[in-house]
Structure 1
Amino acid sequence: MSIKIKDIWKAGFVCMAVLSFSSCDKWVNDTKLPDNTIDESQLNNIAMLGRIEKGAYVYGPVIAGVWRAGATSASDLLVASGAIVDEIVPTAVPNSPFYKELDEDKLTPDNTSLFSVWSNVQNYRARAEDAIANAESLNPTDEDGIKIKQAALVNARLHAGYAWLLMADYFSVSNTSHSVYADHKEVSHQEAYTKAQTYWQQALPAASDTEKRLLHALLTKLGIHTGNYPLAVQHINQSFTATENFSFLNTVGTVSNGFFNALNINSRDAAVDPSLVAASKTIADKARVPVVKAAKGHWSLTLFKERDPLLVSDFDEMQLIRAELVVRGLIPGNAVELVNSVISKYDASGASNYTPSTTLTLNDIVVVRRIFLSWRGTRIIDLRRFKIDGDVNPGFTQRKWQWIGIPEIETQF
Structure 2
Amino acid sequence: MLTVIKSFWKIGTLLVVSALLTSCDKWVNDTKLPDNTIDESQLSGIDMLGKIDKGNYVYGPVIAGVWRAGATSASDLLVASGAIADEITSTAVPNSPFYKELDEDKLSPDNTSLFSTWSNVQNYRARAEDAIRIAEQLNPGEADQQKVKQAALVNARLHAGYAWLLMADYFSVSSTNKVVYADNKAVSHQEAYAKAQAYWEQAIPQASDAKKRMLHSLLAKLGIHTGNYALAAQHIGSSFGTAENFSFLNTVGTVSNGFFSALSINSRDAAVDPTLVSTLITTADKARNPVVKAAKGHWSLTLFKERDPLLVSDYDEMQLIRAELVARGLLSGNATDLVNSVILKYDASGASNKPATPALTLQDITAIRRIYLSWKGTRLIDLRRFGIDGDLNPGFTKRKWQWIGVPEIETQK
Partner in structure 1 of residue 77 of structure 2: 77
| Aligned mates of 1:43, 1:253 — CA distance in 2 | 22
Cα displacement (A) at 1:52: 0.7
Change (3 A) 1:292 1:338: same
Moved more, 390-399 or 30-39: 30-39
| Aligned mates of 2:141, 2:253 — CA distance in 1 | 38
Partner in structure 1 of residue 63 of structure 2: 63
Q: Verify the 8 A CA contact 1:162 1:196 in the aligned structure 2.
A: yes
Letter in 1 for 2:211: E
Q: Cα RMSD between the aligned structures?
A: 1.8
Please give the secondary structure, in 1, of the residue aligned with 2:360.
coil
Partner in structure 2 of residue 336 of structure 1: 336
Cα displacement (A) at 1:109: 2.9
Q: Verify the 8 A CA contact 2:98 2:107 in the aligned structure 1.
A: no
Letter in 2 for 1:123: N
Partner in structure 1 of residue 119 of structure 2: 119
Give the number of equivalent residue pairs: 394
With the length of structure 1 as denominator, give the TM-score of the two structures. 0.93
Cα displacement (A) at 1:43: 1.3
Structure 1 consecutive aligned stretches of length 4 or more whose deviation exceeds 6 Å = 11-14
Task: Tell me the percent identity.
Answer: 79
Partner in structure 2 of residue 110 of structure 1: 110
| Pairing 1:395–2:395 present | yes
Letter in 2 for 1:327: A
Spell out the pairing of 1:50-199 with structure 2 (5 A cutoff). 50-199=50-199
| Aligned mates of 2:18, 2:341 — CA distance in 1 | 35
Q: Verify the 8 A CA contact 1:76 1:258 in the aligned structure 2.
A: yes
Deviation per CA, 1:15-59: give whole Å up to 9, x if none: xxxxxxxxx9x7323212344543221111100000111111100
Please give the secondary structure, in 1, of the residue aligned with 2:109.
coil
Letter in 2 for 1:356: A
Please give the secondary structure, in 1, of the residue aligned with 2:27.
coil
Partner in structure 2 of residue 322 of structure 1: 322
| Aligned mates of 1:390, 1:108 — CA distance in 2 | 23
Please give the secondary structure, in 2, of the residue aligned with 1:101.
helix
Cα displacement (A) at 1:13: 9.3
Q: Verify the 8 A CA contact 2:81 2:170 in the aligned structure 1.
A: yes
- The structure with the greater share of residues assigned to helix is 2
Cα displacement (A) at 1:410: 1.2
Letter in 2 for 1:188: S
| Aligned mates of 1:205, 1:340 — CA distance in 2 | 33
Cα displacement (A) at 1:154: 0.2
Letter in 2 for 1:184: N
Q: Verify the 8 A CA contact 2:90 2:99 in the aligned structure 1.
A: yes
Structure 2 unaligned blocks of 5 or more: 1-16
Change (3 A) 1:13 1:256: farther
| Aligned mates of 1:178, 1:80 — CA distance in 2 | 18
Cα displacement (A) at 1:108: 4.1
Partner in structure 2 of residue 282 of structure 1: 282
Letter in 1 for 2:45: N
Structure 1 unaligned blocks of 5 or more: 1-10, 15-23
Spell out the pairing of 1:272-311 with structure 2 (5 A cutoff). 272-311=272-311
Cα displacement (A) at 1:268: 1.6
Letter in 2 for 1:243: A
Cα displacement (A) at 1:173: 1.0
Partner in structure 2 of residue 217 of structure 1: 217
Partner in structure 1 of residue 11 of structure 2: none
Q: Verify the 8 A CA contact 1:103 1:393 in the aligned structure 2.
A: no
| Pairing 1:201–2:237 present | no
Deviation per CA, 1:314-366: give whole Å up to 9, x if none: 00000000000000001100000000000111111111101122310000000
With the length of structure 2 as denominator, give the TM-score of the two structures. 0.93
| Aligned mates of 2:29, 2:360 — CA distance in 1 | 51
